[in-house]
Amino acid sequence: MLTTMKDVLLTAKKHKYAVGAFNVPNLESIQAVISAAEELQTPVIIQHAEVHEKYIPLTVIGPIMLDFAKRATVPVCVHLDHGSSFDLCMQAIRLGFTSIMYDASAKSYEENFNETKEMVRIAHAVGVSVEAELGHIFTSAIGGGEGRGAVGAEDFASLEDCYTDPETARKFVEGTNVDALAISFGTTHGVYLTKPRLDLNRITEIKEKIDIPLVMHGGSGLSDDDFKTAIHNGITKINYYTYGTIAGGEQVANILETAHDEKLFYHDIVLAGIAGIKANIKSAMQVFYHSIL
């Protein structure tokens, strides 16, 4: 059943679990994520990232995402992830997406604040939830996928310059009226090349300042305990993609390796990919929703 991000996240916040938000740049990913959520009977967010336009455009994948969401037996939010262009955000809203992330975090604070506030005004007028980002989330050189190249702690004078400041977050949320805020506390988009330097206490400090759902980007690769601590401290939405799609690729590699001289049908490769993604996503969901499963 199609629902909004605000609805699923407020319920998660109340019951102290996190909703998994999974990028789905193809039909197989959609099938894997929805199937995993239905088996566990958990709400889920399926996302199209603007950077994935090179794989499949929003106009093609969006209607498919919405169709699966409407027919699902669990609540499904259909979300635009890291929408940095006004036109694509408007396109998602017109298609029927129930939430968008407007990402102006790479701009100055003033630009981020003013542009986000205007996007919230437009989206809320038609019942669409809005997520924003404050701070700088690291991006690895492998699979970072946010279109900015590799960004690490060495790119900043200090970690304080990239982590989300609690008081700034309070002012930003009160002034823009966003429904959810992605915060920076040391996670990384893509494959972890070194051990992440997490400031999990910062989540609690921000939560004490603002009473809206907090979002973790760059969630792939953390330990189960890291996830559980982040959720306990206030994280309510977790973006997850890289390690799920790697699991799908590994399953495909396995079937190719064992085929030898046998005829291999493409549909068997597709099914192997779905199975690999689904197994990985299901394991992640069991951590995110551990308080209710």
Between the alpha carbon of residue 90 and those of residues 211, 217, 255, the distances in Å are 27, 23, 41
Check the annotation: does 55 bind a ligand: no
Q: How many CB atoms within 10 Å of residue 258?
A: 9
Catalytic positions are 81
| Residue type at 143 in one-letter notation | G
Q: How many CB atoms within 10 Å of residue 31?
A: 18
Check the annotation: does 239 bind a ligand: yes
Reduced to 3 states (helix: H, G, I; strand: E, B; else coil), residue 56 is coil
Please name the helix (run of DSSP H) or strand (run of DSSP E) that holds residue 76, with its range, or none. strand 76-83
Check the annotation: does 112 bind a ligand: no
The residues near 266 (Cβ < 8 Å, ≥ 6 apart) are none
| Packing angle, helices 58-71 and 27-40, rounded to 10 | 20
| Residue type at 236 in one-letter notation | T
User: Are residues 58 and 80 in contact, defined by beta-carbon separation less than 8 angstroms?
Assistant: yes
Rounded Cα distance, 245 and 231, in Å: 23
| Residue type at 201 in one-letter notation | N
Check the annotation: does 267 bind a ligand: no
- In the DSSP assignment, the letter for residue 164 is P
Q: What is the DSSP string of 18-29?
A: -EEEEE--SHHH
Check the annotation: does 163 bind a ligand: no
Check the annotation: does 99 bind a ligand: no
User: Are residues 161 and 167 in contact, defined by beta-carbon separation less than 8 angstroms?
Assistant: no
Check the annotation: does 220 bind a ligand: yes
Check the annotation: does 218 bind a ligand: yes
Rounded Cα distance, 213 and 101, in Å: 13
Check the annotation: does 242 bind a ligand: yes
Closest CA to 36 of 284, 281, 291, 287: 281
Numbered residues of the known binding site for Zn(2+): 82, 103, 133, 189, 217
Numbered residues of the known binding site for dihydroxyacetone phosphate: 190, 218-220, 239-242
